[in-house]
């Protein structure tokens, strides 16, 4: 057979007929499918797909049902292609109906004498337009609440009483808890490599105990967070011949957990850097981690050997070892470099205080060697002259973190919080170093979202010596205050070197905008940013007048070759001696 494919047909026009409450352009913007534009070569959203069209029709239905149009319906959908088979026209005909306002919510059925608890989880608000999402969330919350009481087969139906003359609706929530059951047995399957105990120790639902939907959901999340499996499912089945027993089947699909990585990254600060690592997150199926990592960036180089046992004790206390050798080459304004080497080792433990909060603590020993190369700053030279080229510290560490972001690489909602404390109690160097970080992401108005990041770092001297200059914080550049050159903020050394400071603060805000033509794709986003912050020396007073500030726009892209981030801006508050770098970027790849 001889076949000629020709060019793919593209969507020329999308029409939505019958809409009165919302403009045709507003409804078309909700759809992923779109007409050809300047970015559709990347998104391919101008190519017809039945599955995409069905998803878009569901989006339209959800949009109307969430705005009071209880009787909204899609009457017809027509897809036509031009005679030359190059252009496609999509016509959607809708019937809006009238908007309805909720005037009341009634509970009917058996609520086990806990009507007040059920009423507290009702998401439907009388006086507001009917919202299908609120009704769905309420029925789901009722089912989950029944599940926590052992009722695995509860049924909850939302039945609207419609008054078309007044445009009002009353929602009747009819519930039947059925029978209470307990879990007889839990079977684990699909773990061809991972040991059974690694999966079972994450389960919060126990055998021979009452069925608890919340604990089962938590168990699934915990097994999924291990990162060893592509897919995790927990199914419930009735035990034949009984009325009050169920079995749970935990099925997993293994995925490769070893990682041999050779990477290349390029940034406006580090130029070309090589990264290599060998990591195994699930050594011999035991759930333990073992890794070796090498980084050869121009400014930061390190060799690290790490091992983690997530269940050092049966209570879930983790233990981690790190052996490392790091070198850094800070630079001054004249381009001279000096080297600092930092070998050491540490051990830390993680103690779970709740299902979502873990406190980490540990200790270590590390040595800092200040090289005597040309261009060494006065502060380093003075510290080396007074205390010698080699300093030893025995730091204790304490940390806490909680992460509820919906996506780590491209978050749109959620919060991230982190606290780290480092206290050197022995050795030549005594200091206390703390670092706090807070991130909040707030979605609003369709595809827009706001991101806020605040970070505070404070270091203080201990034991009669000044705060060690090699433990300074740095500011400026991507991840700090953009537009200013990387790590260039703070008072410069008399030699012109950037030596950072014992105190650091930066506040970043980003308004994320959808790129026209990309639909709901969050891998490519525009953003407007405003940054402020600085670093200060030990003993220097922090004042608002010393803050630096900048603003601009940028682009973030989760590209096939790695995360790419570009920014271009202007300083809003700066000093004549500050080094400005309006355009900054960073990209990495692994192969």
Identify the CATH number of the domain in which residue 404 sits: 2.40.160.50
Average pLDDT estimate for 305-324: 92
Is the CB of residue 375 less than 8 Å from the CB of residue 332?
A: yes
Task: Say what percent of the chain tops pLDDT 90.
Answer: 53
User: Which sign does the torsion angle of CA 197, 201, 203, 207 carry?
Assistant: positive
Average pLDDT estimate for 65-80: 94
Domain end position, chosen among 48, 64, 95: 95
Q: Are 165 and 194 contained in the same domain?
A: no
Q: Which residues contact 119 (CB under 8 A, 6 or more apart)?
A: 107
Q: Which residues, in sequence order, are bridge partners of residue 323?
A: 305, 345
Q: Are 283 and 423 contained in the same domain?
A: yes
The most confident of 6-20, 93-107, 221-235, 546-560, by mean pLDDT: 93-107
Residue among 280, 68, 273 at smallest CA distance from 194: 280
What pLDDT was estimated at residue 19? 92
Is the CB of residue 238 less than 8 Å from the CB of residue 252?
A: no
Q: What is the mean pLDDT of the chain?
A: 86
Q: Which residues of 9-36 are buried (b: 16+ CB within 10 A; e: fewer)?
A: bbbbebebeebeebeeeebbebbbbbbe
Asked if the structure places residue 49 within a domain, the reply is yes
Q: Rounded to an integer, what distance in angstroms lies between the CA atom of residue 190 and that of residue 249?
A: 11
Q: Does the pLDDT value for residue 572 go beyond 90? A: yes
What pLDDT was estimated at residue 15? 93
What pLDDT was estimated at residue 454? 96
Q: Are 478 and 559 contained in the same domain?
A: yes
Task: Enumerate the H helices of 31-85 as residue ranges.
Answer: 40-43, 50-65
What pLDDT was estimated at residue 300? 67
SS3 394: strand
Average pLDDT estimate for 566-588: 85
Element (H, E) at 379: helix 378-387
At residue 362 the predicted structure's pLDDT band, cuts being 50, 70 and 90, is very high
Asked if the structure places residue 2 within a domain, the reply is no
Residue 237 or residue 37, greater confidence: 237
What pLDDT was estimated at residue 335? 53
Residue among 85, 18, 16 at smallest CA distance from 53: 16
What pLDDT was estimated at residue 588? 46
Average pLDDT estimate for 374-381: 78
DSSP state of 21: S
Q: Are 428 and 370 contained in the same domain?
A: yes
Average pLDDT estimate for 60-87: 92
Q: Does the pLDDT value for residue 10 go beyond 50? A: yes
What pLDDT was estimated at residue 384? 86
Q: Which residues, in sequence order, are bridge partners of residue 98?
A: none
Residue among 226, 341, 215, 240 at smallest CA distance from 281: 226
Domain around 17 = 10-95
Q: Does the pLDDT value for residue 458 go beyond 90? A: yes
User: For 62-76, 120-134, 181-195, 434-448, which range has the lowest pLDDT when averaged over its residues?
Assistant: 434-448
Residue among 506, 486, 507 at smallest CA distance from 584: 486
What pLDDT was estimated at residue 146? 94
User: For 247-251, 359-363, 535-539, 586-590, which range has the lowest pLDDT when averaged over its residues?
Assistant: 586-590
Q: Are 105 and 232 contained in the same domain?
A: no
At residue 385 the predicted structure's pLDDT band, cuts being 50, 70 and 90, is confident
Q: Rounded to an integer, what distance in angstroms lies between the CA atom of residue 31 and that of residue 411?
A: 21
User: For 102-106, 411-415, 465-469, which range has the lowest pLDDT when averaged over its residues?
Assistant: 411-415
Residue 276 or residue 397, greater confidence: 397
Asked if the structure places residue 197 within a domain, the reply is yes
Q: Are 487 and 416 contained in the same domain?
A: yes
Region of residue 517 (phi > 0: left; psi between -120 and 50: alpha; otherwise: beta): left
pLDDT tens-place string over residues 430-444 = 999 999 999 999 988
At residue 590 the predicted structure's pLDDT band, cuts being 50, 70 and 90, is very low
Residue 22 or residue 272, greater confidence: 22
Q: Are 69 and 194 contained in the same domain?
A: no
The most confident of 247-261, 315-329, 513-527, by mean pLDDT: 315-329
Residue 45 or residue 563, greater confidence: 45
Q: Are 83 and 42 contained in the same domain?
A: yes
Q: Are 367 and 232 contained in the same domain?
A: no
At residue 353 the predicted structure's pLDDT band, cuts being 50, 70 and 90, is confident
Average pLDDT estimate for 64-90: 92
Tokens 């209570």 map to which residue?
315
Asked if the structure places residue 324 within a domain, the reply is yes
Locate 79 and state its tokens. 């897809």
Identify the CATH number of the domain in which residue 227 sits: 3.10.20.310
Q: Does the pLDDT value for residue 456 go beyond 70? A: yes
Domain end position, chosen among 254, 273, 296: 254
Asked if the structure places residue 3 within a domain, the reply is no
Domain end position, chosen among 254, 275, 309: 254
Domains of the chain: total: 4
User: For 49-63, 159-173, 289-303, 530-544, which range has the lowest pLDDT when averaged over its residues?
Assistant: 289-303
Q: Rounded to an integer, what distance in angstroms lies between the CA atom of residue 62 and that of residue 118?
A: 25
At residue 520 the predicted structure's pLDDT band, cuts being 50, 70 and 90, is low
What pLDDT was estimated at residue 271? 54
Q: Are 193 and 170 contained in the same domain?
A: no
pLDDT tens-place string over residues 500-519 = 899 999 999 999 887 766 65
Asked if the structure places residue 5 within a domain, the reply is no
Q: Rounded to an integer, what distance in angstroms lies between the CA atom of residue 325 and that of residue 102?
A: 65
Asked if the structure places residue 429 within a domain, the reply is yes
Is the CB of residue 482 less than 8 Å from the CB of residue 567?
A: yes
What pLDDT was estimated at residue 176? 94
Asked if the structure places residue 269 within a domain, the reply is yes
Q: Are 70 and 129 contained in the same domain?
A: no
Q: Are 248 and 333 contained in the same domain?
A: no
What pLDDT was estimated at residue 260? 65
Q: Rounded to an integer, what distance in angstroms lies between the CA atom of residue 300 and that of residue 322?
A: 18
């Amino acid at each position: 057979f001889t076949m000629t494919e020709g060019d793919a047909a593209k969507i020329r026009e999308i029409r939505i007929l019958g809409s009165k409450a919302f403009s045709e352009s507003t409804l078309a913007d909700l759809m992923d499918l779109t007409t050809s534009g300047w970015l559709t070569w990347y998104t391919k959203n101008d190519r017809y797909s039945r599955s995409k069209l069905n998803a878009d029709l569901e989006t339209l239905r959800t949009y109307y049902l969430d705005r009071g149009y209880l009787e909204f319906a899609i009457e017809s959908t027509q897809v036509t292609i031009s005679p030359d088979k190059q252009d496609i026209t999509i016509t959607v005909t809708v019937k809006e109906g009238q908007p309805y306002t909720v005037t009341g919510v009634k509970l009917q059925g058996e609520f086990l004498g806990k009507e007040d608890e059920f009423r507290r989880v009702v998401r439907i608000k009388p006086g507001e337009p009917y919202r299908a999402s609120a009704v769905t969330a309420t029925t789901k919350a009722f089912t989950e609440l029944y599940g926590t009481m052992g009722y695995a087969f509860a049924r909850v139906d939302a039945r609207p009483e419609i008054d078309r003359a007044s445009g009002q609706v009353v929602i009747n929530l009819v519930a039947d808890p059925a029978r209470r059951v307990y879990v007889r047995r839990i079977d684990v399957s699909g773990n061809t490599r991972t040991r059974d105990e690694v999966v079972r120790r994450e389960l919060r639902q126990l055998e021979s105990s009452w069925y608890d939907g919340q604990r089962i959901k938590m168990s699934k999340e915990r097994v999924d967070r291990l990162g060893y499996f592509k897919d995790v499912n927990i199914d419930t089945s009735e035990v034949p011949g009984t009325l009050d027993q169920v079995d749970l089947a935990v099925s997993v699909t293994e995925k490769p957990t070893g990682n041999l990585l050779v990477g290349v990254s390029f940034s406006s600060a580090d130029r070309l850097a090589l990264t290599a690592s060998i990591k195994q997150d699930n050594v011999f199926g035991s759930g333990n981690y073992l890794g070796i990592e090498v980084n050869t960036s121009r400014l930061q180089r390190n060799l690290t050997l790490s091992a983690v046992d997530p269940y050092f004790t049966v209570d879930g206390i983790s233990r981690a070892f790190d052996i490392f050798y790091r070198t850094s080459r800070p630079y001054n304004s004249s381009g001279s470099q000096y080297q600092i080497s930092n070998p050491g080792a540490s051990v830390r433990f993680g103690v779970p205080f709740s299902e979502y909060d873990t406190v980490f603590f540990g200790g270590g020993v590390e040595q800092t060697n200040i090289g005597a190369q040309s261009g060494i700053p006065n502060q380093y030279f003075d510290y080396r002259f007074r205390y010698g080229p080699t300093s030893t510290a025995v730091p204790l560490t304490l940390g806490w973190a909680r992460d509820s972001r919906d996506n780590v690489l491209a978050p749109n909602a959620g919060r991230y919080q982190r606290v780290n404390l480092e206290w050197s109690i022995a050795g030549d160097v005594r200091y206390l170093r703390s670092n706090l970080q807070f991130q909040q992401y707030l979605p609003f108005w369709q595809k827009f979202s706001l991101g806020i990041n605040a970070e505070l770092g404070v270091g203080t001297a201990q034991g009669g010596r000044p705060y060690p200059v090699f433990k300074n914080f740095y500011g400026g550049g991507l991840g700090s205050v953009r537009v200013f050159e990387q790590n260039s903020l703070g008072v410069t050394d008399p030699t012109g070197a950037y030596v950072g400071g014992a105190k650091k603060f930066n506040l970043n805000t980003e308004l994320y905008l959808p790129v026209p033509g990309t639909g709901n794709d969050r891998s490519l986003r525009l953003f407007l940013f405003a940054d402020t912050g600085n670093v200060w020396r030990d003993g220097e007073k922090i004042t608002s007048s010393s803050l630096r500030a900048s603003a601009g726009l940028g682009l973030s892209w989760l590209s096939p070759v790695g995360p790419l981030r570009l920014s271009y801006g202007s300083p809003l508050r700066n000093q004549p001696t500050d080094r400005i770098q309006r355009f900054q970027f960073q990209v990495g790849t692994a192969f």
